[in-house]
Amino acid sequence: MVRLGAFLIGLFMAGWLLVSAGVTTYEMITEPAVETAEHRFHKHPKEVSFAHDGPFGKFDNAQLQRGFKVYTEVCAACHSLNQISFRNLADIGYSEDEVKAIAKAAQVPSINPETGEPATRPGIATDKLPSPYPNETAARAANNNALPPDLSLMTKARHDGPAYVFSLLTGYQKQPVELGKRFPDVAAGSGADPRDPKKPAGNLHYNPYFANLNISMAAPLSNGQVTFDDGSKNDVKAMAKDVAAFLTWTAEPKMTQRKSVGWAALIFLIIFTGLAFLSYRQVWAGKEH
C-alpha cells in the first residue's frame, strides 16, 4: 500500500513538475527575458585593498582617523552613525582627552533642565554621535524625499561592503549614451529626458555601482575637500578609501580582536587535533578496521 501510494504520488509530482518545466520552456521561448537597465549597466565594486584585509589584516588607525575626518566634515551633514559613541573613538587611536574634546565640540540632543523643553548640550564621551536630523520626516524633507541611510553598518549591509563604499563614492560619471537610447525611463531619472530634452533634468545622479543606477545623493567628494593634518593625499580616491576603511571599523569595531583570537583558537585546535590523532593511533594500534 505504502509503495503503491508513493508511486502514484511520485508519478503526479514528477509528472506535474515536468509539465511545468515544459510550460516554463515554452514561456522562455515565446517571451524571452527582457534585459533590464540594471542588468546591463550595474557594475560590481572595484578591486581595492585595505590594511585590514585578510586573516592577518589590522586596522590602520591613521587611515581610520582620516576617514573619521571625512565623515565628520562631509558625510555627517546628512548621514547618522548611530551605533557609534564618542568613547569608541579611543579604539582608533584618539587619547582620552582628544575623545572628550571631540565630544564637547558636538551638540547632542538633551532637555532643558528647567523647562523640560528639547535642547542641546555639549557631548560627553558616552554619548552616541548625534544624528543630523531629528527624525526620518525631517531627513526626507531636507533631501528630496530620499532618506540618507545610517552608515554604521553600511559595509556589512552590502556585498563586498568596503569596496562598494569606495566604488560608489568614486563611481559618479556621465550617463552612457546607450542608456538614454535603450532605457529612456531610467535615463530620465539622472539626466535630461532623451524623449523630451526640454523637460528639466531628473534630480537623481547616475552611478553604475548603485543598485538601480540612479542615486539621490550627489557626488559628495571633490578633490582637496578635506585637509588632513598629516598631509596625506586628499583627492577623491584617497578620501573615498579612507572613509571606506573608517566605515569598515564602524561596522565591525572588534575585527582586529576577532582575527587575533581566531589565530589563538586555531593554533590551540591544531595542537588538540594532533594530540587527538596520536591517541587515536595509539588506541587503535594493531586493530584492523
Partner 1 sequence: MSVAWANEYKPGGPLMQWVDERLPIPRLMYNAIGGGYEVPRNFNWMYNFGVLAGVALMIQIITGIVLAMHYFSSVDGAFNSVEHIMRDVNGGWFLRYAHMNGASFFFIVVYIHIFRGLYYGSYKAPREMVWLLGVVILLLMMATAFMGYVLPWGQMSFWGAQVITGFFSAIPVVGEPLRQWILGGFAPDQAALTRFFSLHYLMPFVILGVIILHVWALHIPGSGNPTGVPVKTKEDTLPFHPYYTTKDGVGLGVFLIIFVILTFFAPNFLGHPDNYIAANPLSTPAHIVPEWYFWPFYAILRAFTVDFLFIPAKLLGVLAMFGSIALLFFLPWLDTSPVRSGNYRPLFKKFFWFGLLPCIVVLGYCGVMPAEGPYILLGQLAAAYYFAHFLIILPIISRIEKTLPLPNSITEAVTGKPALAAA
> Binding residues for partner 1, per CB under 8 A?
2-3, 6-7, 9-11, 13-21, 23-25, 27-28, 33, 55, 83, 88, 149, 152-153, 156-159, 161, 211, 251-254, 257-259, 261-263, 265-266, 269-270, 272-273, 276-277, 279-280, 283-284, 287-289
Rounded to the nearest whole angstrom, what is the least distance from the CB of residue 204 to partner 1 in the complex? 17
- Comparison of 153 and 219: residue with beta carbon closer to partner 1: 153
The answer to whether 280 and 183 have CB atoms below 8 angstroms apart is no
Sign of CA dihedral 178, 182, 187, 193: positive
- Comparison of 156 and 233: residue with beta carbon closer to partner 1: 156
Q: Amino acid identity of 273?
A: T
* CA-derived radius of gyration, the chain: 28
Rounded to the nearest whole angstrom, what is the least distance from the CB of residue 287 to partner 1 in the complex? 7
Rounded to the nearest whole angstrom, what is the least distance from the CB of residue 220 to partner 1 in the complex? 21
Closest CA to 240 of 42, 41, 58, 50: 50
The DSSP element (H or E) to which 173 belongs, if any, is none
Q: Amino acid identity of 187?
A: A
- Comparison of 210 and 221: residue with beta carbon closer to partner 1: 210
- Comparison of 94 and 191: residue with beta carbon closer to partner 1: 94
Rounded to the nearest whole angstrom, what is the least distance from the CB of residue 30 to partner 1 in the complex? 11
CA 52, distance to chain mean position in Å, is 16
- Comparison of 101 and 261: residue with beta carbon closer to partner 1: 261
- Cα angle 49-51-52, degrees, rounded to a multiple of 5: 100
Closest CA to 64 of 214, 232, 206, 183: 232
DSSP state of 176: P
Tell me the HSE value of 237 on the side-chain side, using a 13 A CA sphere.
5
Tell me the HSE value of 266 on the side-chain side, using a 13 A CA sphere.
7
Rounded to the nearest whole angstrom, what is the least distance from the CB of residue 144 to partner 1 in the complex? 17
Rounded to the nearest whole angstrom, what is the least distance from the CB of residue 39 to partner 1 in the complex? 10
- Comparison of 111 and 269: residue with beta carbon closer to partner 1: 269
The answer to whether 167 and 157 have CB atoms below 8 angstroms apart is no
- Comparison of 138 and 265: residue with beta carbon closer to partner 1: 265
